[in-house]
Amino acid sequence: MRANPPADAFFLADIVDRFGQAAKKQYPVKISSEAELRAKAKQEMAVLAASKGAPGRSRWGGWADGPKRKGTGFFRAEKVDGKWWMIDPDGHLFFSNGLANIRMANMGTITGYDFNDPEVRFIGPEELTPDDSVDIVPVDKKYRASRFLASPLRRQMFEWLPTYDDPLGSHYGYARETKRGPVQHGEIFSFYKANLERRYGKDYMATWRKVTIDRMRDWGMTSFGNWVDPSFYQNGRIPYFANGWIIGNFKTLSSGDDVWSPLPDVYDPNFVRRARLTIEQIAREVQNSPWCVGVFVDNEKSWGRGDTTAARYGVVLDALSKKISESPAKARFTQMLRDQYKTVAALNAVWGTKFASWEEFGAGAVPVQLEAARPDLSRLMRDYGERYFSTVQSELKRVMPNHMYMGVRMAQWGMPEEIIEASLKHSDVLSFNNYKEVMHPDKWDFLNAYDKPVIIGEFHIGATSDTPFYHPGLIGASDQKDRARIYEQYINSVIDHPMMVGAHWFQYIDDDVTGRSYDGENYNVGWVTTTDIPYPEMAESARRVNYGLYQRRFEKK
């Protein structure tokens, strides 16, 4: 028996310095002073001003030196010589390589403080954006008197936090809800925004937007990815993808594995109303701009996993278990089954159930013989997917007819065939998030049967050895050099795939060392640090890939 070594009572004390960096680790891109931060900004901006970016590009980022197709004034998709491409507004071949989540939302970390006044946590029923996608909003002065220390352990992690009267005190905000972490809600502080002000001065947001676009062009990126701040929508220099969420007080269903949130009951009229409001808001922000490639709505919904019948069709089983009076989905599914079976006895014979009437079925029903009921569950699931995607598509066509519907960015852990086929029917481009080291052919060759353009909405690689982080991310590398190598390997596998029309890395900015406020994610997945310093290895790898992107894709057999 070996005794445990003595525990360090201060293991989690003072682990973050005044710049939001890991105080107890040394690494190449660490900043030591505000003077150094400003000097590095001045040096980088001079380099960016001299950069000409990738050669042979159209003003939209398409391949100016390549074959020309019909220009429609907006982005679209077309199959050319056996490969899918997007086509830019002037008719040039276009492949979307970019970075996602270029925004201030969810860029704060929990400080350990909270406020007793419950009004600070109020979420209006008609809000259109979830809390983790809202820009950091300073805490109103009227709430500050009720501030208290909710988590001393959390507070001791920081060497420094400003007072509210400090010039950097404006970078406090509030998380009205969290998914997981030390508190359910509480005060947050954005070290990233504070560092932008230190780096660029009072007009830091305008400078940040310009520097960000200059970086994308210097690195050869052809577009932004999803979740770019709407303040970029009218930038006129780089294409982007608009986005929105369908949230609200409509009824919901559970797949049994609700990773982020329950699924909507798409048969609830209030879901349709909320979809309309969300997409109308997106349209107001985009203003019919030709720089908008397309629109993503929602993300990584828990459609169901494919390992068992119960897991795959969990959302249907949940709806069936409810009362008709309480669930529009149950009412829809009951009518579909009545139309098919005519009598409840016929349904009982297949499902192994003993319902005396359709009324009894309507009070709550689950098949006894799941495998025998699987064809019915599949048909109901298909109808559910059809209703979801057709609702979103019809609203987009109504108010944004010139822009492509990019789908819902399905995660590789939850993409039942019925949902993929519904998306296939109603989306202009299929979208998937795929966190792997490469696009493995054995997992993605199924796309060839669909013959539809596909975009990867999220992937990333992280490291810990030469960074401030204790967690690399979903895909780990040994160091920054290795991270850049795996990035090139991944993005080239996408470029070489004939169905793929783009891939977006998640995300632009590193997480906080102490985790982002919504769920505590603390990954080295940014191309820039929380002090807005680019990782040079990633920038160099981007140029290697992007400056020859179009030639590689076009010439690859």
pLDDT digits (tens, 9 = 90+) for 324-352: 999 999 999 999 999 999 999 999 999 99
- Mean pLDDT for 249-263 is 89
Looking at residue 539, its pLDDT comes to 98
Task: Name the residue among 324, 309, 426 with its Cα closest to residue 378.
Answer: 309
- Whether residue 505 lies inside any domain: the answer is yes
Contact between 546 and 221 under an 8 Å Cβ cutoff? The reply is yes
The arithmetic mean of pLDDT across residues 183-202, rounded, is 96
Rounded Cα distance between 554 and 61, Å, is 15
Q: Are 97 and 212 in a shared domain?
A: yes
Assess whether 383 and 436 both reside in one domain: no
Residues 291 and 434 occupy one common structural domain:
no
CA pseudo-torsion sign 499, 504, 505, 506: negative
User: What is the torsion angle, in degrees rounded to the nearest 10, for the CA atoms of residue 377, residue 378, residue 381 and residue 385?
Assistant: -170
**Predicted local distance difference test score (pLDDT) of residue 393:** 98
Is residue 12 over pLDDT 90? no
Give the confidence band of 189 by pLDDT, cuts at 50, 70, 90: very high
Q: Which two tokens stand for residue 96?
A: 């979307």
| Residue % of the chain over a pLDDT of 70 | 100
CATH number where 217 lies? 3.20.20.80
Regarding whether 354 and 343 lie in a shared domain, the answer is yes
Q: How many CB atoms lie within 10 A of CB 83?
A: 19
82 in any annotated domain: yes
- Considering the domain architecture, whether residues 380 and 488 belong to the same structural domain is answered as no
User: What pLDDT is recorded for position 505?
Assistant: 98
The pLDDT tens digits for 472-528 are 999 999 999 999 999 999 999 999 999 999 999 999 999 999 999 999 999 999 999
162, 189, 216 - which closes a domain:
189
Domain housing 275: 243-408
296, with CB counted inside 10 A (0-12, 13-18, 19+), is buried
Do 252 and 390 belong together in one domain? yes
Clarify whether residues 205 and 177 are in a common domain: no
Residue 208 lies in a domain: yes
Residue 232 belongs to a domain: no
Question: What is the average pLDDT value for the chain, to the nearest integer?
Answer: 95
Give this prediction's pTM: 0.94
Q: pLDDT at position 112, please?
A: 97
Same domain, 115 and 262: no
**Does the structure show a pLDDT above 80 at 411?**
yes
Q: Is residue 255 part of a domain?
A: yes
3-state class (DSSP) for residue 309: helix
- As a whole number of angstroms, the distance between CA 483 and CA 388 comes to 37
Q: Are residues 101 and 115 in the same domain?
A: no
Looking at residue 8, its pLDDT comes to: 77
Q: What was the pLDDT predicted at 307?
A: 78
Residue 30 within a domain: no
pLDDT bin (cut points 50, 70, 90) of residue 260 is confident
Residue pLDDT, tens place only, 271-313: 999 999 999 999 999 999 999 999 999 999 999 987 799 999 9
- Summarised one tens digit per residue, pLDDT across range 352-402 is 999 999 999 999 999 999 999 999 999 999 999 999 999 999 999 999 999
**430, 420 Cβ separation under 8 angstroms:** yes
Quick one: 404 and 446 in the same domain? Answer: no
**pLDDT for the residue 434:** 95
* 141 and 274 share one domain: no
If DSSP codes are grouped into helix, strand and coil, which group holds residue 382? helix
Residue 557 above 90 pLDDT? Answer: no
Stronger pLDDT, 3 or 74, i.e. the higher one? 74
200 CB contacts (<8 Å, ≥6 apart)? 41, 207, 208, 211
User: Domain tally for the chain?
Assistant: 3
Domain end, chosen from 347, 379, 408, is at 408
Picking from 435, 422, 513, 427, the residue whose alpha carbon sits closest to that of residue 469 is 513
> Has residue 1 been placed in a domain?
no
* Residue 317 domain flag: yes
Domain edge (last residue) among 408, 438, 471: 408
Tell me the average pLDDT across 1-18.
84
pLDDT value, residue 448: 85
pLDDT given for residue 268 in this prediction: 98
Is 439 a residue whose pLDDT tops 80? yes
Q: How confident is the model at residue 446 (pLDDT cuts 50, 70, 90)?
A: confident
**Could you give the CA distance from residue 282 to residue 245 in angstroms, rounded to a whole number?**
10
Per-residue pLDDT, averaged over 108-133, amounts to 94
Pair 267, 403 in one domain: yes
